[in-house]
Amino acid sequence: MNLRLDEARGLLIGARQVPSPNQDDRPPGTEISLLVLHGISLPPGEFGGPFIDHLFTNSLDPQAHPYFREIGELRVSSHLLIRRDGEVVQYVPFHRRAWHAGASCHRGREACNDFSIGIELEGTDTTPYAEAQYRVLDTLLPLLRSAYPAIGPQDVVGHCHIAPARKTDPGPAFDWARLGRTDLA
């Protein structure tokens, strides 16, 4: 996997770029200090297809699937998506705020979007994630932690850890031990 960071532009070179309008400036002086892993599939339980791109670019057709009528008005994004085959898609530059965490709290700090990078993994809470996705994470996490040294080992968490009352992803199917996080396994 040939990924590298263009820190000046906040871009991951080697990722397919699909700019999302669902982003804004981080609060002034904010240091990126959290990495949040998510799980997503659209429609639920189905992989592949253009629908995640459509969701993050506000172009999801509510007639394409009954579930899309429920989520079609959402304005959400993530910095990255790692598809099951290992393809990486970037929607928001790292220095910008993506809208992925919602109401959230990490180690006493609320509004995690302000200081986090969001990474979506194509999957579900109950379907094991693909080996290709873990290989990408093995490359990507050291790159991001080197560029953003305030992200410590304890600051790589799931959506379920920062919003436990309302989120379960990436779910029990995610192998936290692969990331050296036996405390989250």
Tell me the catalytic residues. 120
What are the DSSP E strand ranges found in the chain? Answer: 4-6, 11-13, 16-17, 23-25, 34-40, 80-82, 88-90, 96-98, 105-106, 109-110, 116-122, 156-158
Q: What are phi and psi of 69, to 5 degrees?
A: -65, -30
Angstrom distances, CA of residue 100 to CA of 1, 63, 73, 104, 182: 25, 24, 15, 10, 25
Work out whether strand 109-110 and strand 23-25 pair parallel, antiparallel, or are unpaired: unpaired
Nearest alpha carbon to residue 88 among 20, 167, 3, 181: 3
The whole-angstrom separation of Cα 36 and Cα 169 is 10
